[in-house]
Amino acid sequence: MGEIFLSTEVLVYLLSETILGMVLLVAFAYALRIFFKWDFQAFTPEQFKLEQGAYLINTIAIFVFVMKFGLILYFAYTLDTLANLIPGAMCGAGVIRANGYGSPLLVLKLVILFLLILWFYLNHYDLESRTYAWFRQKSLLFMLIVLLVGGEWWLDFAYFANIDTHQAVSCCSTLFGQLEGANPLPFGLNTTTLLILFYLLFSVTLLSLWSKARYLYILSNLLFIYIAYYAVVYFFGTYIYQLPTHKCPFCMLQVEYHYVGYFIWFSLFIGSFLGINGVLISLWLSLPLSKRMGYWVMGLLGFFVLLCSAYPLVYYVKNGVWL
């Protein structure tokens, strides 16, 4: 069990998470104090000190966000390198399933990323207002994020500590394959309908954003993420690997495929998170939608769809047939 901790990547990753956690704790302590004592209308020196403290929290939050972002990528990379140590694993998919902590950890990371983006929107608007209008909400959200990060930190250690390098895990072909004959796609879809839904939802998402239909946008973007995941794993992925039986969301992160997995998942998740959060904020704070946000979202999601579609198209052009 201990061997995992001596792997460089794991050590570096855990150390980084720990440092970020410590820094966040400091911010949390300030945030707590500020939350209870904040009174913008007061003229006391204490209030001014609180305002100064707010700057520390903001700085720490930005720092942590940027670093956490890089750490998620590093985490994905670490999982990949660990695949060499764990029997049976050929990519991150097997590594993540090495124990029960892996998948919840990954999901939690995505949730934290999502909330961090939300916090940034909130912070931006709060600073723009001349009276720190949403200070309380911002602080509450921040404290929630810190608590979640604490949970993530615990899960990090639990996950790595419980990886048994002598216990074989399933490879992605077992996890994602259709060896049993059962249909892994949701709602009993087949590949064609999956693709139709994929492009349809993409169009609806973009159109609803364009026409500022906020609730529709949130709904369609959420659905799009869900469907896109399956589309990438069960269709587009096979063109990336050029093997109709190779279905895996992790293998595409490897160097053989030019790390394209990072681009694909990044554009999908960041684009969606930016958009969903942007719209949520505009609903919550009753503010107009930001045009710039709209462009970014459309750009990222468009890039995602283009990148995915490129693989089967190029394959067809080169070989004259589909897989």
Does position 121 interact with another protein (CB under 8 A)? The reply is no
Out of 31, 34, 50, 71, the only residue in the binding site for another protein (CB under 8 A) is: 71
Closest approach, Cβ 128 to another protein, in A, equals 9
Distance CA 35, CA 29 (A): 10
Judged by CB under 8 A, the stretch of 16-24, 179-187, 225-233, 239-247 that binds another protein is 16-24
Out of 6, 182, 317, 321, the only residue in the binding site for another protein (CB under 8 A) is: 6
Complex with another protein: residue 178 or 319, whichever CB lies closer:
178
Query: Which 8-state DSSP code applies to residue 7?
Result: S
Complex with another protein: residue 23 or 155, whichever CB lies closer:
23
Out of 1, 3, 245, 256, the only residue in the binding site for another protein (CB under 8 A) is: 3
Closest approach, Cβ 257 to another protein, in A, equals 15
Distance CA 111, CA 262 (A): 18
Does position 223 interact with another protein (CB under 8 A)? The reply is no
Does position 1 interact with another protein (CB under 8 A)? The reply is no
Does position 148 interact with another protein (CB under 8 A)? The reply is no
# residues near another protein by CB under 8 A? 38
Complex with another protein: residue 179 or 317, whichever CB lies closer:
179
Query: Which 8-state DSSP code applies to residue 323?
Result: -
Q: What are the distances in angstroms from CA 206 to CA 187, 213, 299?
A: 24, 10, 10
Torsion of CA 164, 170, 171, 174, to 10 degrees: -170
Name the burial class of residue 75, with classes exposed (0-12), middle (13-18) and buried (19+) by CB atoms within 10 angstroms of its CB. buried
Which 84-103 residues touch another protein, going by CB under 8 A?
84-85, 87
26-64: burial string, b at 16+ Cβ within 10 Å, e else: ebbebbeebbeebeeeeeeeebeebeebbeebbebbeeb
Complex with another protein: residue 60 or 201, whichever CB lies closer:
60
DSSP for 68-114, written as a single string: HHHHHHHHHHHHHHHTTTSTT-SSHHHHHTTSTTHHHHHHHHHHHHH
Binding mask 151-190 for another protein (x = CB under 8 A): ----------------------------------------
Closest CA to 118 of 98, 148, 94: 148
Out of 35, 65, 69, 74, the only residue in the binding site for another protein (CB under 8 A) is: 74
Does position 266 interact with another protein (CB under 8 A)? The reply is no
Does position 20 interact with another protein (CB under 8 A)? The reply is yes
Query: From the centroid of its chain, how far is CA 85?
Result: 26
Closest CA to 139 of 40, 44, 272: 40
Residues that bind another protein (CB under 8 A): 3, 5-9, 11-13, 15-16, 19-20, 22-23, 26, 43, 48, 51-52, 55-56, 59-60, 63, 67, 70-71, 74, 77, 81, 84-85, 87, 127, 130-132
